[in-house]
Amino acid sequence: MKDFETPADLTKEDVTVLILSAKKRMGLTWEQIAEAIAMSPVWTHSACVGMNAMPPEKADALVAQLELPAEVADVLVESPTKVWSQTVPTDPCIYRFYEIVGVYGPTLKALIHEKFGDGIMSAIDFDMTVTRVENPKGDRVKVEMSGKYLSYNSW
């Protein structure tokens, strides 16, 4: 089927490889890439690895900054299909967050219900930051999540 291949076949995975390659070549950090397109590092990384869609002007800015082919921008603006293949993540850095959901999930649920009523925190109208907090006993990772409260409907 190689004969039918067109530039339109450029996938999200291809684009991620191109971005990582350019980032390494140029010696940039995610913080710098994010700053250059005036977005947060969390969102920028997520969109670069194909887990979020970019508004066209952000995609263009990224392509310009990283000197990538123009069709990369077309792919960056497409709605991604968010797929993860490990039901339980094995990498320790990611697993710890899975563990937190397992241990504290019922607690998060109970406190959201207590503070808001019967509903949930949106994972769509959502933002997140990661910061480094200095601490004499060892610096700490601070993760702040904020999502719109959505109330269950009765009808």
Please tell me whether residue 74 adopts helix, strand or coil conformation. Answer: helix
Which of 27, 67, 106, 136 is close enough to bind its own copies by CB under 8 A?
Answer: 106
17: which 2 tokens?
Answer: 């490889």
Which residues inside 3-62 make contact with its own copies, applying CB under 8 A? 4, 6, 8-11, 14, 17-18, 20-21, 24-25, 29-31, 39-43, 45-47, 49, 51-55, 58
Between CA 94 and CA 104, with CA 100 as vertex, the angle to 5 degrees is 160
- Residue matched to tokens 């949106």: 122
Which residues inside 111-140 make contact with its own copies, applying CB under 8 A? 111-128, 130-133, 135, 137-140
Q: Is there a catalytic annotation at residue 122?
A: yes
Which of the following is catalytic: 96, 140, 144, 146? 96
How far apart (Å, rounded) are the C-alpha atoms in residues 67 and 64? 5
CB of 44 to its own copies, least distance (A): 9
What single DSSP character describes residue 8? G
CB of 17 to its own copies, least distance (A): 6
Is the separation of the CB atoms in 117 and 80 below 8 Å? Answer: no
Q: Does 70 bind its own copies (CB under 8 A)?
A: no
Work out the burial of residue 76: count CB atoms within 10 Å of its CB; fewer than 13 is exposed, 13-18 middle, 19 or more buried: buried
How far apart (Å, rounded) are the C-alpha atoms in residues 8 and 45? 23
Which of the following is catalytic: 13, 25, 31, 122? 122
Q: Does 145 bind its own copies (CB under 8 A)?
A: yes
Q: Is there a catalytic annotation at residue 96?
A: yes
Residue type, 64: A
Which of 27, 67, 92, 136 is close enough to bind its own copies by CB under 8 A?
Answer: 92
How many residues sit close enough to its own copies to count as binding (CB under 8 A)? 106
CB of 60 to its own copies, least distance (A): 14
19: which 2 tokens?
Answer: 């971005």
Any idea which residues carry the catalytic annotation? 96, 99, 122
